Amino acid sequence: MKGRLTLTTALLAALSGCAEEVREPGTFFGDGCILDRKAAPCDDCIEFAHVTSLGSDELGPGYLVDRGTMQNLVRDGRGNYWVGQNEEIKVFDPDGAFVRTVGRRGDGPMEFGRAAPMHADASGRVHVLDTDNLRISLIDEAFTLVEEKKLPRWVGANAPLDDGNRYVVQASIEGPGSERMPLHIIDGTEVLTSFGAGEPDTESLEFLPPEFRLAVGPDGGVFAARVAEYVVEAWSREGSRLGALRGEPQLNADGTFQELPSPDNPPPDLIGDVHVDRGGLLWVSLVVLRADWLDPFVQIMAADPADIPPEAAPEILTGIYQGRLDVIDLATCTMIASQLHDQPLILLDDRTVAGYGFTELGSNALDIMRMRLER
């Protein structure tokens, strides 16, 4: 759009000393961005409105078996929700009614080892990542396979570029220019750009490679958030580092990842998802310990899982962790809002989130909510 600064041009303007005259809110942050995570002006200015819930109490087609893959969730052009469930996908309509299952276990067309819906493009196709079969399947609104894209190797975090024509992924890829680079822009098996090299900033993470959550901004810039730290780096599509946002106090600064969680070594807080909206605000969804996490933690660590009745599991699990949603103005490096939520949240788009939940009988569920930021 004419007159709109991109992330790259705005950053260059800031570095030249004329940022105040030319920068546009929501376009960039520089390397000096140290964010005071405790200085949010409000903790109740994000409104949530429940839309529907996905999942069934009864064993059957609409039952969400695997809680660990529920985060692989997208909404297609018709408003249907596609939920990854290991080797298959459960599809629900906009009102939460079960529509059908897509896929089955295997390595042939429309078969998956681990189905992870990752993007719904403008043509109505849903892109399904399968890390077991090293490919991405494009499935249209008639639930027909349109195309398969091979992957260079196993990938972790991912985000679509150019409406899914290309992808930015976290992967360990060997080749000229790719060594020690955790992030890559790929087109099928072709690696176009490799970038993102950097060392962890805390001694506790010294022996662990960083794990990322990825988002793509409105102008195509790549945002990579380190899961176990409050560090978000901005990269150009050419692999140039544009800046870094660092939250203070450091996430998990007092813990160690070299020992199992215990009352003296609390489980970590983690970044679960990131999203950059059309206005240039960065949304960071975190999974954080509750203030009274210790009692349910000790209870679940001491119990045999077989002895925990299904109806008691939700109370124990949600008694340890809750969600938190931070909203950050990238242009000014300021926290606009930081709000706790009973559920960890998946960021679907600028105004829609999904919360990890349970049905009344304790079965897995996803609660779809619209959100609005009051400023």
Q: Measuring CA to CA, how many Å separate 25 from each of 15, 92, 162, 282?
A: 16, 37, 24, 12
pLDDT in tens, 33-54: 888 877 888 999 999 999 999 9
Residue 334 or residue 307, greater confidence: 334
Looking at residues 241-251, what average pLDDT do you find?
86
Indicate the range of 101-105, 255-259, 262-266 predicted with least confidence.
Answer: 255-259
pLDDT in tens, 179-199: 678 999 999 999 999 998 754
pLDDT of residue 9: 36
pLDDT of residue 109: 97
Pair of tokens at residue 39: 């200085």
Residue 326 or residue 359, greater confidence: 326
pLDDT of residue 281: 94
Q: Helix or strand or coil: residue 204?
A: helix
pLDDT in tens, 332-371: 888 999 999 999 999 999 999 999 998 888 889 999 999 9
Judge contact between 154 and 165, C-beta under 8 A: no
pLDDT reading at 310 higher than 70:
no
pLDDT of residue 25: 36
DSSP-derived letter for residue 136 is E
Please tell me the distance from the alpha carbon of residue 182 to that of residue 90, in angstroms, as a whole number: 31
Amino acid, single-letter form, for residue 366: L
Pair of tokens at residue 88: 């298959």
What is the end-to-end Cα distance of the chain in Å, rounded? 25
Please tell me the distance from the alpha carbon of residue 328 to that of residue 35, in angstroms, as a whole number: 9
pLDDT of residue 304: 75
Judge contact between 323 and 289, C-beta under 8 A: no
Q: Measuring CA to CA, how many Å separate 167 from each of 23, 110, 170?
A: 28, 21, 10
pLDDT reading at 200 higher than 60:
no
Q: What is the spatial order of strands in the sheet that 270-276 belongs to? A: 270-276, 281-289, 321-329, 334-341
Total-model pTM: 0.86
Where do the DSSP E strands lie in 175-255? Answer: 183-187, 190-195, 212-216, 222-226, 231-235, 241-248
Which of these, 336, 240, 237, lies nearest to 280 by C-alpha position?
336
Peptide bond into 25 cis (omega under 30): no
Judge contact between 16 and 320, C-beta under 8 A: no
pLDDT in tens, 211-237: 999 999 988 999 999 999 899 999 999
- pLDDT more than 70, % of the chain: 82
Please tell me the distance from the alpha carbon of residue 45 to that of residue 272, in angstroms, as a whole number: 21
- pLDDT more than 90, % of the chain: 59
pLDDT in tens, 79-125: 999 999 999 999 999 999 999 999 999 999 999 999 999 999 999 99
Pair of tokens at residue 9: 């041009």
